Amino acid sequence: MSASAFRRFLDVLFDEYDEVVGPTVENGTVRLRPLESAADLSTGVVDEQEAGTYRLRPSGTPLHFSHGVGPDSLKSVVHPARSPVWTMYRSDGSLVVDPDLTPERRTAVIGAKACDLRALAVLARTQTEGPHADPGFVARHDGLFTVAVDCTHPAPTCFCGTLGEGPAAADGFDVALTELVEPESDTAEYVARVGSTRGRALLERLELDVAAPALLARAEVELRGADRALLRELPANAADVVGNSEHPHWWVVAERCLTCGNCTAVCPTCFCTDMEDRVDIDGATARRTRVWDTCFSQEYSRLGATAHRSSTMSRYRQWLTHKLGTWHDQFGESGCVGCGRCIAWCPVGIDLTAEIESLAREPAAR
């Protein structure tokens, strides 16, 4: 797919869907946002990420996806930060409740990486596979058309490879793309793969050429390079390691943790929500909204007048124990996909892979 064919591909998406969500540069960050047009797509930027660090600089290429993951994930699309629940008011002295019906929107997303797709599956399990499924989540998830892009520029904060994922998208997409520079014209070109019947139907409308073997070979070289770039890792026994609730290292992490909740906001699988009740200024109408919450707040574990988890230690421990340990008990898998967002966006640079290493060590004799 040439750069112009890619443009036609985007046109079809804009045509077919109410909303096309993709990476766009906003305040020096690659954000996942509804795009107005193809021109909004991030272009020619590469990111530098480390613990507590995220910066963009020009890449000197015409590529749209030459960066690792930004702070947003598909969570923002299928499990929005705020979703209205109901409105309550008094009528003739009696309370009346009206549901806030969320209209269904047909959304396409472009630029999802292997870790994003994996995270979407993990998140979906939390919201749809228990005894009760969130109908809003189901509708948003089922309607989502997903264009994956193989991750040729993983950040140093990523470790999806140690969890058996990426850098190429394996499944869970409608269409997957590998993005390359066409050396003759110095423009972007793409290899497209089909992941579903609706993905096939959409690509067939573009009447694309079959990818030449030379192009496929170059794509493979790109991906192999990305595979080698993964530096961090999470050990296979992480679930056992976090099970040691009394390890003194929990208190050491707590000395740095600010309990800001950035890690849970950027985590693509952190699903916790709160019910927020607000009253209009006239006192006559109350509105309930389901909002993202964080286990790092005291309010999260409030029981009556006090917080059950009042220490920073217990809140960090709850987060990591849930993510890597008790998530297995609840949903049959780990809650971590190795995207590294929590490492980059932690204002003090707490790195869960390093914390696991410390927690795995025998505590020093006291």
Partner 1 sequence: MPVANAAFVDPLLMPRVHRVVEVVPEIDDVVTIRVVPVDGPPAGFLPAQIGMVGAFGIGEAAISISSASDTTSHHDYTIRRAGAITGALTSMGAGDELWVRGPFGRPWDLDLDGCDVLIAAGGIGLAPLRSAVSAIAAERDRYRTVTLVVGARRAADLLYAREYEHWREQGVDVVPTIDRAETGWSGRVGFVPSVLDDLDVEPTRTAALVCGPDIMMRRTADSLIARGVTADRVQLTLERNMQCGNGLCGHCQLGGLLVCRDGPVVRYPAVSRWLAVEES
Rule CB under 8 A: which residues touch partner 1?
85-86, 88, 90, 94-97, 99-104, 126-127, 130-132, 134-136, 139, 245-246, 271-275, 277-279, 283, 286, 288, 290, 293, 295, 300-305, 308-311, 313-314, 318, 322, 326, 328-330
Token pair 């906001």 is found at 265
Q: How far is the CB of 332 from partner 1 (least distance, A)?
A: 11
Q: Nearest-CA neighbor of 75 among 226, 260, 266? A: 266
Q: Smallest distance from the beta carbon of 104 to partner 1, in angstroms?
A: 4
Helix axes 352-360, 249-256, angle to 10 degrees: 150
Which of 146, 111, 115 is closest to 40 using CA atoms?
Answer: 111
Strands 145-149 and 107-112: parallel
| 61 vs 301, beta carbon nearer partner 1 | 301
Q: Which is nearer to partner 1, 38 or 270 (CB)?
A: 270
Least distance in Å: CB of 129 to partner 1? 10
Rank residues 249 and 322 by Cβ distance to partner 1 and give the closer one: 322
Complex with partner 1: residue 207 or 329, whichever CB lies closer = 329
DSSP state of 362: P
| Amino acid in position 232 | R
Sign of CA dihedral 91, 93, 94, 95: positive
Q: For residue 272, what are the CA distances in angstroms to 49, 261, 275? A: 26, 12, 10
Sheet holding 145-149, edge to edge: 29-34, 19-26, 107-112, 145-149, 175-182, 187-194
Q: Which is nearer to partner 1, 190 or 250 (CB)?
A: 250
Nearest residue (CB) to partner 1, 318 versus 353: 318
Q: What are phi and psi of 284, to 5 degrees?
A: -95, -20
Question: Smallest distance from the beta carbon of 126 to partner 1, in angstroms?
Answer: 7
Closest CA to 271 of 132, 69, 75: 75
Helix (H) or strand (E) holding 272: none
Nearer to partner 1, 11 or 104 (CB): 104
